[in-house]
Structure 1
Amino acid sequence: MNAHVRSSATLNLRTHSLIAFVLQPAEPLADWFEMLDGWLTRSPSFFANKPIILDLAQLDIPLRDYRDALTALARRHIRVMGVENANKTLVGPHLPPNVSGGISGKPEPAEPETMDAAAENAPAPAEREAPRLEPRNTGCSQTLIIDAPVRSGQSICNLAGDITIIGRVASGAEVVAGGSVHVYGAIQGRVFAGVSGIENARIFCTEARAELLCVGGAYLTAEDRDPRTEGKSIEVRLVESDLEIRILN
């Protein structure tokens, strides 16, 4: 008599590294949401389909206000996958779970003595600042090359490294890179570089006509940019907390 033995089912289990943006809400929340809305006005799809973690270290609010804040984020198409530094009252069923162990994309802080000295010489904060983004980079660096123009409405994203585009970035288009962005053509849309905390990220283009340029969270709109840079070949980099634009030709 032949017996047929059925093998047990196999559980497929593997690890997966990803890059998540960390948003740190601050009180008063009404002002923080107003700042966030300003960012989303300039780049409506920036957070779309991206994993988001909330750092609640600066929030001391009751559960009802926290639920309202999560609802307000969801209305803005920002889905929270987890939270950090949350007190016990803000973690439970039907709430984002506590997460830990991520690797910060930001440089390690300086020693206290160095920080004190830097604080004395630090420039005044910019009049307008983007909401604090602290990406956690757990992937390896790589370069994405787009051998075509980026059309209006398109969004090109590579959080693990640089992006190189052979062609223009049209008005209404968006390019988001963890590292630097190189555009061999005109930038007419919105370009974000250094969003994953990669040091020395820059934006290069052969014709500057951008709606928005952003490196490491500091940004300039078309209205803010020096008109002498219009149509020029430029390099954009972050110097301390401000953007510096250098004309290349």
Structure 2
Amino acid sequence: MVKPIEFKAGTLTAMTAVLHEIDNVRLADALQVMLSGMGEFFAGEATIIDVSSIQGLPQRVDWVGLQSLLRRYGLQPVALKGAPDYLHDAARRAGFAILEGASGGLRQVELPPLKTEVAPPPAPAVTVAPAPEPQKTASAMVVERTIRSGQQIYARGCDLIVLGGVSHGAEVIADGNIHCYGPLRGRVLAGAAGDQTARIITTNFGPELISIAGVYRTFEQGIPPAIAGHASHALLRKTGESQSLVLEPLQLD
């Protein structure tokens, strides 16, 4: 007999939107500038709203208006993190789950120390320790195929190396650099965890959108001819007090 419902353990990867203020009008202006008004940019990603960085939160927050604003860009707000207790009831009524602490709702429990008996010290012995095994470090994720439209690849905590291409409508994300040795199309987000030294490097530049550490650039007006279809890289460069995203051709000769 088939059960009407089953519960299975699983893993959900969620975007975290870290807010530094809670004014929906100012947030709307910031998103418009950051994403150039591209609706559905995030393609329905589950999102945790983190308000722990905001000092002096008001007594009332327009949670419904905030949800509507984020959904306009394809984000699906599902949980609230870092809010004081007096905001919890209103957030729950708006449909938010409440996550507690930095662990995202998982409570950390300290176990009492184990009782141990003191044994007499053993006689000294000389032993030869085996050589330690070399540790493997995940410095890069390597994808040996073309990433098709509708697919998303995320290299968490490392670089992403694509030995094929990235098609229109695909999305590649990495906390480090992104290297693509085929045609680079779609959406390309490097330095996703905030690394401002990350770069996007490709042998054939032609994406719809690029981002490094949250600084975005779109190409509705076309890609500069010196870059389009050529070996190029994108990086952040400091100009005054701000960072600008620049494109430069690669000299491979």
> What range is the shorter-chain TM-score in?
0.5 to 0.7
**RCO (CA 8 Å, sep 6+): is it higher in 1 or 2?**
1
Q: Per the alignment, in what secondary structure is the counterpart of residue 196 of structure 1?
A: coil
Aligned to 1:88: 85
Q: Which has the higher helix share?
A: 1
Return the offset for 1:187.
1.2
Q: Which runs of 5+ in 1 are unaligned?
A: 1-15, 103-139
Query: Is residue 2:37 matched to residue 1:44?
Result: no
Percent of pairs with identical residues: 25
| Structure 2 residue 24 is the aligned partner of structure 1 residue 26 | no
CA shift, 1:231, in A, is 1.4
Provide closer, same or farther for how the CA distance between residues 71 and 19 of structure 1 changes in structure 2, counting only shifts above 3 A. Answer: closer
Q: 1:205 to 1:42 in 2, by over 3 A?
A: farther
Paired residue total: 198
Secondary structure in structure 2 of the residue aligned to 1:186: strand
1:55 CA drift (Å): 2.1
Q: Does 1:192 align with 2:189?
A: yes
Give the drift of 1:247. Answer: 0.9
Q: What CA RMSD, in Å, does the superposition of the two structures yield over aligned residues? A: 3.5
Equivalent residue, structure 2, for 1:106: none
Listed as ranges, the matches of 1:92-241 within 5 Å are 92=89, 94=92, 95-101=96-102, 142-198=139-195, 200-222=197-219, 223=221, 225-240=223-238, 241=243
Tell me how far apart the structure 1 counterparts of residues 49 and 22 of structure 2 sit (CA, whole Å).
17
Larger gyration radius, structure 1 or structure 2:
2
Matches of 1:151 and 1:204 in 2, distance apart?
A: 19
How big is the shift at 1:73?
Answer: 3.8
- Matched position secondary structure for 1:91: helix
Offset at 1:151?
Answer: 1.4
TM-score where L is the length of structure 2: 0.63
How many Å separate the matches in 1 of 2:39 and 2:189? 10
Q: Give the Cα separation in 2 of the matches to 1:43 and 1:209.
A: 21
Deviations 1:79-99 (A, max 9, x none): 243322x34321248244254
Rounded Cα–Cα distance in structure 2 between residues aligned with 1:152 and 1:235: 22
> What is the CA–CA distance in structure 1 between the aligned matches of 2:192 and 2:77, rounded to whole Å?
18
Post-superposition shift, 1:184? 0.3
Distance in 1 of aligned mates of 2:138 and 2:39: 24
Instruction: Give the drift of 1:21.
Output: 2.5
Question: Conserved in 2, the CA contact under 8 Å of 1:160 and 1:178?
Answer: yes
8 A Cα contact 1:19 1:159, kept in partner: no
Letter in 2 for 1:159: R
Larger strand proportion of the pair: 2
